[in-house]
Amino acid sequence: MLLHIPDVLTPEELAHGRMLLSQADWADGRITAGTQSAQVKRNLQLPQHLDSARELQAMVEAALKRNALFFSAALPKTVFPPLFNCYQGGMDFGNHVDNAVRSHPFDQSWVRTDVSCTLFFSQPDEYDGGELVVEDTYGLHSVKLPAGDMVLYPSTSLHRVEPVTRGARIASFFWTQSMIRDDSKRSLLFDMDMAISRLRQQHGDTAELVTLTANYHNLLRMWADL
What is the residue range of 113's domain? 3-178
Same domain, 171 and 206: no
Q: What angle do CA 124, 130, 134 make, to 5 degrees?
A: 110
Q: Give pTM, 2 decimals.
A: 0.94
Which of 94, 70, 91, 93 lies closest to 82, judged by CA? 70
Q: Which residues pair with 76 in a beta bridge?
A: 178
The reply to whether 219 and 130 lie within a common domain is: no
The answer to the question of whether 4 is labelled as a binding residue is: no
Residue 96 in marked binding region: yes
Domain count along the chain: 2
**CATH code of the domain covering residue 195:** 4.10.860
Q: Where is 96: in which H helix or E strand? A: strand 92-96
Phi, psi of 38, rounded to the nearest 5 degrees: -60, -25
Residue 158: CATH number of its domain: 2.60.120.620
- Arithmetic mean of pLDDT over the chain: 95
Closest C-alpha among 132, 150, 130 to residue 141: 132
Q: Could you tell me which of 175, 160, 72, 159 has the C-alpha nearest to residue 117?
A: 175
132-176: per-residue pLDDT in tens? 999 988 899 999 999 999 999 999 999 999 999 999 999 999 999
Question: Across-strand partners of 28?
Answer: 44
Tell me which H or E stretch contains 64.
helix 51-65
Q: Are residues 150 and 189 in the same domain?
A: no
Instruction: Say whether both 219 and 135 belong to one domain.
Output: no
Q: Does one domain contain both 100 and 80?
A: yes
pLDDT tens-digit readout, 142-154: 999 999 999 999 9
User: Is residue 81 located within the same domain as residue 94?
Assistant: yes
Q: How does pLDDT run across 21-70, given as a tens digit for each residue?
A: 999 999 987 766 666 666 788 999 999 989 999 999 999 999 999 999 99
Closest CA to 220 of 171, 185, 196, 191: 185
Neighbours of 117 (CB within 10 A): 26
| pLDDT at site 224 | 97
Query: Annotated binding residue at 169?
Result: yes
Could you tell me if 61 and 147 lie in one domain? yes
Instruction: Return the closest-CA partner of residue 86 out of 27, 153, 15.
Output: 27
**How do residues 88-104 score in pLDDT, each as one tens digit?**
999 999 999 999 999 99
